Amino acid sequence: MQETTTSKQMSNPTTAAAALRVFFHDCMVDGCDASVLVASTSLSKAERDSDLNEALAGDAFDVVTRAKNALELACPGVVSCADILAVATRNLVKYVGGPFFKVRLGRKDGRESVASHVEINLPRANASMDQMIDMFTSKGLTVEELVALTGGGHTIGFTHCKEFSNRIFNFSSTSEVDPSLNPKFADRLRQMCANYHKNPAIAAFNDPLSPGTFDNLFFKNLLNGMGLLASDQIFGGGPKNEAVGGAICKEPDGVLRDICSRHGED
Ligand code: HEM
């Protein structure tokens, strides 16, 4: 596993973010059972082909395929794709600066993969705090875990312009740009995304200050109005989110404490 993930990440540095997002999208929909990897058939449309999963990056699928091929040669029929995805993601997150943690093994691969289960289990970039909380708490996760996991996820990787274009073009009748965005950051995004209709592949870094490193700058960015997605910037505070701020503030340490004091100010 180690050899496969390291060589893949070295040749394609976008792999870590790709795998982390695929792992998140797998786990939220009917558990961490690799059902996101299953292909559609003529009779059923699989998770992978749902609208929300259409931009999942190919590198993630490729790293699992490579590891599965190597493991099947060494010990056929033993290691599930679900375990491979979990371990590959852990290795890749560690590679880009994240923590090492032990992955408990023994996941079974799901036999069912249903596209319509995706939309009800995964939030979109315009999700409200309540929607995100509902989706996470329904899986037994806390509000603090929602914030910490999303901050961990969005400290690496990319987002295509269409996911935040409503924040930088024609935002409202009184403001061209979402006022919760840092003005300089918004200007940069407007330039970068000027042609996104013609070229939908244009994408911005989720964490503009340290795009390839797993660190806590995502949270600091939020405090400076540099959350790329509307759903991210919600975690940075605002009058509407006082109740949420209260919940997040139960975690008293580090950067979350900055978010709490920001909530206090608003
Ligand atoms: C909770 C609310 C969340 C929302 C609304 C959300 C939404 C999104 C969106 C819209 C993108 C951009 C996709 C694209 O343009 O291709 C994205 C990217 C990403 N998300 Fe999330 N996400 C959330 C939470 C998470 C969590 C919990 C993780 C992982 C722990 C995560 C990991 C990632 C990663 C790594 C990327 C970059 C993927 C890449 O570069 O290939 N996200 N997310």
Cα 72 to averaged position of ligand 1 atoms, centre (Å):
31
What atom in ligand 1 is closest to the CA of residue 18?
Answer: 41
What's the confidence (pLDDT) of residue 49?
97
Q: What percent of the chain has pLDDT over 70?
A: 89
Judged against a pLDDT cut of 90, whether residue 208 lies above it is answered with yes
- How far is Cα 56 from Cα 15, in angstroms, rounded to an integer? 11
Mean of the pLDDT values across residues 200-216?
94
Residue 174 is assigned to a ligand binding site: no
Judged against a pLDDT cut of 90, whether residue 239 lies above it is answered with no
Query: Taking a C-beta distance cutoff of 8 angstroms, is the pair 65, 17 a contact?
Result: no
Of the listed ranges 83-87, 135-139, 145-149, 181-185, the least confidently predicted one is: 145-149
Question: Residue holding tokens 């190919």?
Answer: 58
- By the 10 Å C-beta count (0-12 exposed, 13-18 middle, 19+ buried), 120 is classed as exposed
Q: Can you read off the two tokens belonging to residue 88?
A: 């590959």
Ligand 1 site residues, Cβ closer than 6 angstroms:
17-18, 20-21, 24, 55, 57, 123-125, 127, 132, 149-150, 152-154, 156-160, 163, 206, 229, 231
Torsion sign (Cα): 200, 118, 129, 60? negative
* Mutate-to-test residue for ligand 1 from 12, 14, 15, 24, highest number of ligand atoms within 8 A of CB: 24
Mean of the pLDDT values across residues 162-181?
96
Mean of the pLDDT values across residues 173-188?
96
The strand pairing partners of 204, in sequence order, are 159
Residues in the chain, total: 266
Confidence of residue 257 (pLDDT cuts 50, 70, 90): low
Query: Taking a C-beta distance cutoff of 8 angstroms, is the pair 220, 257 a contact?
Result: no
What's the confidence (pLDDT) of residue 252?
45
pLDDT digits (tens, 9 = 90+) for 92-119: 999 999 989 899 999 999 999 999 999 9
Map out the domains of the chain with their CATH numbers. Answer: 2-119 (1.10.520.10), 129-265 (1.10.420.10)
Phi and psi angles of residue 4, each rounded to the nearest 5 degrees, phi first: -65, -45
Q: Which of the residues are catalytic? A: 25
Mean of the pLDDT values across residues 75-101?
96
Q: Where are the beta strands (DSSP E) in 101-254?
A: 158-160, 203-205
